[in-house]
């Protein structure tokens, strides 16, 4: 023979093969040392069987519990994932990677501990249990024992069984079992992710209220008590608040926190850091203006300087506008220089280039939502950039041609025409409120507003219907907001003898000789001049620039102004939007800069009381102060959020279920259910038993066994253990029969 099973050779260095008697080879107990009969032995085995069942249950219950524990662990993790509990666990973004590594390491160590404990308990059971299911081939016994050395051994054993099936089912089961354990170890290493997510953090922060509060309008010490139902008994002094309107003509890149176009809104106090990705929902107030032509209006113009003649270059005159506001007859006056030439509309109030005027007017108590203004332009061309204001239907309405009448001359005169036309415009204000999101770091609106925000959707020269509502809303304070000397500041001071080229309410005719100027005026004359004219104001300059474009140059001879027509928008909608923006700026200044004063007596009533009593009267008044509030800030921060790796979790759960099923099969259905019948306690003694058994050694040595396959084929014979020794089944049966 070329090769033999060297481990079983008599001279292989292991020692000689001992000689055994047939009784020693084939009996369950050694005859040399036994006393008693087969009947006594059977009775003893039956008595021992009663103790083996509890022992087997105790032996199997612990590994079975570990299998179920692995499955229960994954079921618990799946439950947590379904409920989304893990998403409530957040960690700092800077620690996310480290925490993810530690969590996966811990899960891997836990699964490694389970695997180690399971294998440590299952291996002796699996390697011992085949001996309780004899007879089996020696190859089958060897395969079942060797396959439990690990995944590599089970795979090798599966390979051998595919080539020479001896215990193919067991090989597949064992390989699948160890593969499942390995898969659980791998999947547990990728069980958790800690991705960076935008987390929403909600907090309450202080704000600066954007709109003036009506509750702050009650002057201390007055007979006005709150809550206010209307503003009939109050007078609003917008003079200082109106200064801010001039800033609207400056650089458009200027940002005013809490003000955008026609909207004023609350702002955070203080704002969030610039690195913060946060927003807040705040209260806002929008101002909306609707304009149209004034119905049943009469207009006239007359000269007031008796020394002027129709041949003069300029004529001083008073423009009178009569209309009805509710049941009140209203008369508005405005003074102007009228040119008889076809140019120089800008010379009306030299050196200002205003074309839109807000005449002085009495304020009707309780009717504070309406305003009258007019546009004057040269009908022969765009002199000084003047032009008619068109509506949405490209109509200029029904403008009035300016005719001057002088009734103070001793000779009769006829009205003389000018080249000017006037559009008298009535406007009403309304408000709307709501909530809007702002950037909590910059206090700017997140949603941009329309270009003509605050204007009507379709503005036409239809008859204007004044809003006669009397309430306690902010729009009820609007009537006095842009009136000269009370609501809007003048571009320069009015002086009795003004410097050259400055319009003055005290001296209309700048072309008269200085020596003829009166040196004094009585009170009636001063009051008449004060009521009938006003210096161009900030609101008029703003509206003119917004509608007709900024002045770019002046003609040195005529003084005619040139404007940038590329930014002009002479439409009724643009006028409404400009008025809404100016209103928002004035309200913004009043709410945040303490510029609005509210008193309980009108200026006329104050003068009357002073005249009657000869005493200086200071009416009860209050300056509206800024007010704070609160808002909810929603901050989105990048944080690490615990999240399951769903594929790994699902695979791990499936593997845990397979492992548990295999464990139940091996422990309850396979050879392990006969483990109490195994005559040995340690399968590792098999090699020693084989070496110490001459019959088995002789059987193996009769074949050439140079390879694993040849050895496997040589060992394909049935064996059993008799008296603690392996014996061949065929020989054992023959010997028993012969005896």
pLDDT tens digit string along 119-176?
988 888 888 778 777 788 888 888 888 888 888 989 998 998 898 888 898 899 999 9
Distance between CA atoms of residues 87 and 74, nearest Å: 17
At 685 the pLDDT is 47
- pLDDT tier at 402 (50, 70, 90 boundaries)? confident
The per-residue pLDDT for range 522-545, each reduced to its tens digit, is 677 667 777 778 889 999 999 999
Does residue 345 carry a pLDDT above 80? Answer: no
DSSP 338-385: EESSSS-GGGGGTT----EE--B-PPPTT--SEEEEEEEEETTS-GGG
CB distance 187 to 115 below 8 Å? no
Beta-strand pair 718-722/259-260: unpaired
* Mean pLDDT value of segment 3-7: 38
Computed on alpha carbons and rounded to an integer, the radius of gyration of the chain in Å comes to: 53
* Mean pLDDT value of segment 189-206: 89
The per-residue pLDDT for range 472-515, each reduced to its tens digit, is 999 999 999 999 878 888 998 877 667 667 778 776 544 433 44
CB distance 22 to 735 below 8 Å? yes
Beta-strand pair 725-728/718-722: antiparallel
Q: What is the separation, in whole angstroms, between the first and last Cα of the chain?
A: 34
Bridge partners, residue 697, by sequence: none
Q: Taking Cα atoms as reference points, which of 542, 628, 622 lies closest to residue 586?
A: 542
CB distance 224 to 298 below 8 Å? no
Q: Taking Cα atoms as reference points, which of 656, 640, 634 lies closest to residue 86?
A: 640
- Distance of alpha carbon 650 from its chain centroid, rounded? 32
CB distance 725 to 691 below 8 Å? no
- Distance of alpha carbon 510 from its chain centroid, rounded? 63
Does residue 16 carry a pLDDT above 70? Answer: no
- Measured in degrees and rounded to the nearest 5, phi and psi for residue 516 equal -90, -5
Give the Å distances, CA to CA, from 147 to 132, 159, 680, 687, 719: 17, 11, 19, 16, 19
Give the Å distances, CA to CA, from 708 to 5, 142, 588: 11, 12, 96
Beta-strand pair 416-439/356-357: unpaired
Higher-pLDDT residue of 337 and 7 is 337
Does residue 371 carry a pLDDT above 60? Answer: yes
Q: Taking Cα atoms as reference points, which of 693, 726, 703, 723 lies closest to residue 142?
A: 726
- Distance of alpha carbon 326 from its chain centroid, rounded? 49
- pLDDT tier at 624 (50, 70, 90 boundaries)? very high
Q: Which distant-in-sequence residues (6+ apart) come within 8 Å of 384 by Cβ?
A: 343, 344, 345, 346, 347, 353, 355, 378, 560, 561, 563
The neighbour count for residue 369, using CB atoms within 10 Å, is 22
Give the containing element (helix H, strand E) for 644.
Answer: strand 643-644
Q: Which of 319-333, 346-360, 703-717 has the highest mean pLDDT?
A: 319-333
Distance between CA atoms of residues 177 and 697, nearest Å: 33
- pLDDT tier at 312 (50, 70, 90 boundaries)? very low
Distance between CA atoms of residues 188 and 190, nearest Å: 5
- pLDDT tier at 617 (50, 70, 90 boundaries)? low
* Mean pLDDT value of segment 304-326: 69
Distance between CA atoms of residues 172 and 155, nearest Å: 9
The half-sphere exposure of 471 on its side-chain side, counting CA atoms within 13 A, is 10
Bridge partners, residue 719, by sequence: 136, 728
Q: Taking Cα atoms as reference points, which of 99, 65, 81, 106 lies closest to residue 188?
A: 106
- Distance of alpha carbon 62 from its chain centroid, rounded? 53
Distance between CA atoms of residues 346 and 337, nearest Å: 10
Q: Which distant-in-sequence residues (6+ apart) come within 8 Å of 409 by Cβ?
A: 306
Q: Taking Cα atoms as reference points, which of 313, 131, 238 lies closest to residue 583?
A: 238
Helix axes 168-187, 151-163, angle to 10 degrees: 150
* CA 101-103-106 angle, 5° bins: 105
Distance between CA atoms of residues 662 and 139, nearest Å: 23
Does residue 8 carry a pLDDT above 50? Answer: no
Q: Percentage of the chain surpassing pLDDT 70?
A: 75
Give the containing element (helix H, strand E) for 281.
Answer: strand 278-293
Is the torsion defined by CA of 441, 442, 443, 446 positive or negative? negative
At 358 the pLDDT is 94
Higher-pLDDT residue of 630 and 729 is 630
Does residue 248 carry a pLDDT above 60? Answer: yes
Higher-pLDDT residue of 307 and 636 is 636
At 640 the pLDDT is 87
- Measured in degrees and rounded to the nearest 5, phi and psi for residue 57 equal -60, -45
Q: Which distant-in-sequence residues (6+ apart) come within 8 Å of 512 by Cβ?
A: 305, 307
The per-residue pLDDT for range 563-615, each reduced to its tens digit, is 998 889 999 999 999 999 999 999 999 999 999 999 886 555 555 555 666 56
At 385 the pLDDT is 85
Distance between CA atoms of residues 388 and 382, nearest Å: 9
Distance between CA atoms of residues 621 and 725, nearest Å: 119
Distance between CA atoms of residues 594 and 378, nearest Å: 41
Distance between CA atoms of residues 593 and 623, nearest Å: 10
The per-residue pLDDT for range 657-707, each reduced to its tens digit, is 999 999 888 888 877 766 666 665 555 544 444 545 666 666 766 666 566
Does residue 18 carry a pLDDT above 50? Answer: no
């Amino acid at each position: 023979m070329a090769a033999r099973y060297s481990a079983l050779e008599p001279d292989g260095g292991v020692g000689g093969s001992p000689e055994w008697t047939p009784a020693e080879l084939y009996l369950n107990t050694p005859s040399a040392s036994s006393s008693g009969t087969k009947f006594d032995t059977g009775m003893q085995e039956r008595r021992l069987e009663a103790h083996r069942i509890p022992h087997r249950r105790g032996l199997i219950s612990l590994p079975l519990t570990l299998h179920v524990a692995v499955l229960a662990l994954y079921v618990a993790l799946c439950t947590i994932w379904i409920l989304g509990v893990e998403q409530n666990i957040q960690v700092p973004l800077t620690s996310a990677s480290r925490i993810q590594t530690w969590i996966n390491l811990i899960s891997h160590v836990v699964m490694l501990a389970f695997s180690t404990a399971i294998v440590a308990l299952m291996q002796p059971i699996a390697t011992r249990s085949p001996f309780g299911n004899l007879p089996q081939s020696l190859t089958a016994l060897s395969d079942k024992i060797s396959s439990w050395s690990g995944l590599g051994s089970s795979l090798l054993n599966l390979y051998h069984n595919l080539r020479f099936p001896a215990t193919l089912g067991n090989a597949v089961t064992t390989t699948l079992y160890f593969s499942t354990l390995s898969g659980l170890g791998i999947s547990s290493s990728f069980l958790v992710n800690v991705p960076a997510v935008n987390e929403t953090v909600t907090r309450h922060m202080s704000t600066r209220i954007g709109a003036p509060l009506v509750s702050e309008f009650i002057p201390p010490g007055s007979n006005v008590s709150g809550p206010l139902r209307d503003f009939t008994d109050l007078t609003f002094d917008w003079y200082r608040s109106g200064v801010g309107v001039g800033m609207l003509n400056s650089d458009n890149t200027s940002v005013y926190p809490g003000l955008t176009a026609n909207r004023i809104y609350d702002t955070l106090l203080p704002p969030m850091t610039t690195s913060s990705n946060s927003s807040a929902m705040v209260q806002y107030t929008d101002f909306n203006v609707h304009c149209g032509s004034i119905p049943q209006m009469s207009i006239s113009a007359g000269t007031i300087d008796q020394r002027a003649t129709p041949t003069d270059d300029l004529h001083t005159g008073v423009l009178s506008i009569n209309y009805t506001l509710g049941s009140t007859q209203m008369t508005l006056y405005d003074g102007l220089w009228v040119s008889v030439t076809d140019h120089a509309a800008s010379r009306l109030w030299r050196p200002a280039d205003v074309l839109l005027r807000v005449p002085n007017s009495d304020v009707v108590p309780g009717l504070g939502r309406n305003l009258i203004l007019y546009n004057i332009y040269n009908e022969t061309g765009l002199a000084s950039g003047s032009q008619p204001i068109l509506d949405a239907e490209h109509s200029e309405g029904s403008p009035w041609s300016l005719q001057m009448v002088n009734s103070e001359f001793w000779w009769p005169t006829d009205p003389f025409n000018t080249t000017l036309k006037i559009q008298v415009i009535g406007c009403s204000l309304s408000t709307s409120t709501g909530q809007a999101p702002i950037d909590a770091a910059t206090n700017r609106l997140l949603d941009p507003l329309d270009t003509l925000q605050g204007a009507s959707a379709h503005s036409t020269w239809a008859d204007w219907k004044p809003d006669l509502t009397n309430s306690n809303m902010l729009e009820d304070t609007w009537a006095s907001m842009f009136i000269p000397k009370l609501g809007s500041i003048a571009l320069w001071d009015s002086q009795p003898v003004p410097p050259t080229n400055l319009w003055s309410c005290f001296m209309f005719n700048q072309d008269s000789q200085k020596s003829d100027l009166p040196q004094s005026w009585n009170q009636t004359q001063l009051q008449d001049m004060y009521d009938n004219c006003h210096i161009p104001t900030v609101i008029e300059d703003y509206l003119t620039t917004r509608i007709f474009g900024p002045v770019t140059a002046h003609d040195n001879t005529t003084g005619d102004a040139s404007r940038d027509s590329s930014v002009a928008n002479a439409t009724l909608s643009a006028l409404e939007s400009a008025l809404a923006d100016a209103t928002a700026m004035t309200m913004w200044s009043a709410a945040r800069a303490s510029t609005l004063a509210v008193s309980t007596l009108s200026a006329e009533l104050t003068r009357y009381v002073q005249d009657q009593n000869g005493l200086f009267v200071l009416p009860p008044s209050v300056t509206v102060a800024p007010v704070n509030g609160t808002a909810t800030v929603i901050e989105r921060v990048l944080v690490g959020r615990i999240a399951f790796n769903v594929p790994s979790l699902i695979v791990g759960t499936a593997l845990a279920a397979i492992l548990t099923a295999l464990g139940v099969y091996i422990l309850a259905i396979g050879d392990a259910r006969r483990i109490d019948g195994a005559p040995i306690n340690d399968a590792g003694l098999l090699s020693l038993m084989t070496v110490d058994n001459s019959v088995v050694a002789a059987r193996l040595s009769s074949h050439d066994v140079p390879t694993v396959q040849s050895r496997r084929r040589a060992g394909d014979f049935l064996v059993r253990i008799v008296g603690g020794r392996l014996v061949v089944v065929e020989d054992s049966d023959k010997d028993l029969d012969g005896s």
